[in-house]
A and B are shown apart, each in its own frame.
Chain A
């Protein structure tokens, strides 16, 4: 007891210190982290020797300059109007679009394709989530705090901008390893699209890790939604949920329904095309997977969850499982040729009536990528739909609110 009495003031002080520091304010934690990073980076730079770069600037042409204006303008608008969350999403969309246009201009067609398709999937996901979240962010911070945050943000922006400018202005001190990739893409990897050959061959192991990240994301989201809907405050809140905005009269607009259904086969064909040409031209399993997934999601959005779910029997868990397994086994397969994991092989074949074509084991790997991407994206979006159904969104078995082919009598009877 005496022991306790002596120590109590110290313990109390320790508690106050610890709790003051770790007070749960994420904004402060991140502000401290940003300042630390900036200070450490600046210190490291300031105490080293630096000679400015010598590369000549690439010219600025009018069209890219307009794109830059759009990008910077939307970013500035996002600063100002981020409280209107829907508008913020639109601005994010514009910024993403400008980034992908920039990629096209700066010789990166693969990046542009991926950026734009990921952009679409992300915005759809955020929109669906926003359906349940408040549509506005309230003003909570004082002007002083906002100014402070703005200064931190400006310092970070200037720091990163200056860093990349300094890097871009100098030549590589040594010849970069990518020269080997350019030289060996066709003879060693069997493809002319060097970016794709790097992804499925030179650095296929990275891609293997990357699709596993996507697969895990799908599983985590599924497990999370299961836990939410199992009963508890989230479930109660969903059951009592009242839409905070007016709903459109026609939930499944005719134009959208017809258009999406016509798009689906075309999108699947485009997906197959992008997939097949990936090794030699911009494309590949990942982009193809996103195109197909987005086309399928559009069926859900246009025709309703019930209608679309009734028309496909694919289990998304199985897609993820098979995707990762196929990619993994494709890598293991090279053991039997007594070569290391993920060694690829390719050959040229000739079938009657069509041109000579190439088959690469990397294509099997790409199938795994494709399946995982479709599975993960669909599992994530289907999980949101389950939340919506719990929130009282009725599921309709029919895609249209009006049935054009039904005889009027039976309609009256219903």
Chain B
């Protein structure tokens, strides 16, 4: 089982890294989501694997799985959900403002003027 989990984490990481190296915002966001999955399983697995021993106190003589890493993963899932929501909306906003969904700013470097939109 350990091998399956480790290879799945590795596979998801690789896929995530490949996607964040693309040039458009959408694949980058999908890549970040994949990295999030990978890291969630990674944290979970860092508490070691156990099968069929949920951390619900039932006077189970066999013991329980590590509850702490599960709590950490829950926190991480929620935080990354908030982050994903923000970056999705920012990417959408950037697409609507500029008309393209490139994540790079290669053409913007030469113009140092800061945007002053919003000035009353």
Verify whether A and B have any Cβ pair under 8 Å. yes
Partner-B contacts on A (CB < 8 A): 19, 22-27, 30-31, 34, 55, 57-60, 64-65, 68, 71-72, 75-76, 78-79, 82-83, 85, 88-89, 92, 95-96, 99, 102-103, 105-111, 114-115, 118, 121-122, 125-126, 129-130, 132-134, 137-138, 140-141, 149-150, 152-154, 156-162, 164-165, 167-169, 171-172, 176-178, 181-182, 185-186, 192-195, 198-199, 202-203, 206-207, 210-211, 213-214, 216-217, 220-221, 224-225, 227-228, 230, 232-234, 237-238, 280-282, 286, 376, 380, 383-384, 387
> Given A25-B106, A57-B3, A164-B9: A82 and B19 within 8 A (CB)?
yes
User: Are B55 and A182 interface neighbours, CB within 8 A?
Assistant: yes
Partner of A110, one of B4, B74, B98: B74
User: Are B96 and A237 interface neighbours, CB within 8 A?
Assistant: yes
Q: Which residue of B lies closest to A198 (CB)?
A: B71
Q: Which residue of A lies closest to B78 (CB)?
A: A210
> Given A137-B26, A168-B2: A153 and B17 within 8 A (CB)?
yes
12 more A-B contacts (CB under 8 A) besides A24-B107, A88-B26, A133-B92?
A99-B41, A106-B50, A108-B54, A111-B73, A176-B47, A178-B69, A192-B57, A195-B67, A217-B85, A221-B86, A221-B89, A387-B92
User: Are B84 and A79 interface neighbours, CB within 8 A?
Assistant: no
Partner of A137, one of B1, B22, B52, B78: B22
Neighbouring B residues of A217 by C-beta, 8 Å: 82-83, 85-86
Partner of A213, one of B3, B24, B82, B107: B82
- Shortest distance in angstroms between A275's beta carbon and chain B's nearest beta carbon? 15
User: Are A195 and B12 interface neighbours, CB within 8 A?
Assistant: no
Chain B: residues with Cβ within 8 Å of the partner, total of 94
User: Are B55 and A193 interface neighbours, CB within 8 A?
Assistant: yes
User: Are A115 and B99 interface neighbours, CB within 8 A?
Assistant: no
- Shortest distance in angstroms between A198's beta carbon and chain B's nearest beta carbon? 4
- Shortest distance in angstroms between B119's beta carbon and chain A's nearest beta carbon? 12
A-B interface pairs (CB < 8 A), number: 337
- Shortest distance in angstroms between B29's beta carbon and chain A's nearest beta carbon? 7
Interface residues of B in 36-94 (CB under 8 A from A): 37-38, 40-42, 44-58, 64-71, 73-75, 77-79, 81-86, 88-93
Q: How far is the CA of A76 from the CA of B103 in the complex (A)?
A: 24
User: Are A59 and B1 interface neighbours, CB within 8 A?
Assistant: yes
User: Are A194 and B57 interface neighbours, CB within 8 A?
Assistant: yes
Interface residues of B in 2-41 (CB under 8 A from A): 2-30, 33-34, 37-38, 40-41
- Shortest distance in angstroms between A149's beta carbon and chain B's nearest beta carbon? 4
User: Are B40 and A216 interface neighbours, CB within 8 A?
Assistant: no
> Given A22-B109, A168-B6: A157 and B17 within 8 A (CB)?
yes
Neighbouring B residues of A92 by C-beta, 8 Å: 30, 33-34
> Given A75-B15, A181-B67: A60 and B4 within 8 A (CB)?
yes
Partner of A75, one of B11, B25, B75, B92: B11
Neighbouring A residues of B89 by C-beta, 8 Å: 129, 220-221, 224-225, 380, 383-384
Q: How far is the CA of A214 from the CA of B75 in the complex (A)?
A: 11
Q: How far is the CA of A286 from the CA of B41 in the complex (A)?
A: 19
- Shortest distance in angstroms between A218's beta carbon and chain B's nearest beta carbon? 8
Q: How far is the CA of A203 from the CA of B24 in the complex (A)?
A: 38
Q: How far is the CA of A318 from the CA of B111 in the complex (A)?
A: 41
- Shortest distance in angstroms between B82's beta carbon and chain A's nearest beta carbon? 4
Q: How far is the CA of A120 from the CA of B52 in the complex (A)?
A: 26
13 A-B pairs, CB-CB below 8 angstroms? Answer: A99-B40, A107-B50, A111-B70, A129-B92, A140-B23, A176-B68, A193-B55, A207-B75, A232-B97, A232-B117, A234-B97, A282-B56, A380-B85
User: Are B1 and A82 interface neighbours, CB within 8 A?
Assistant: no
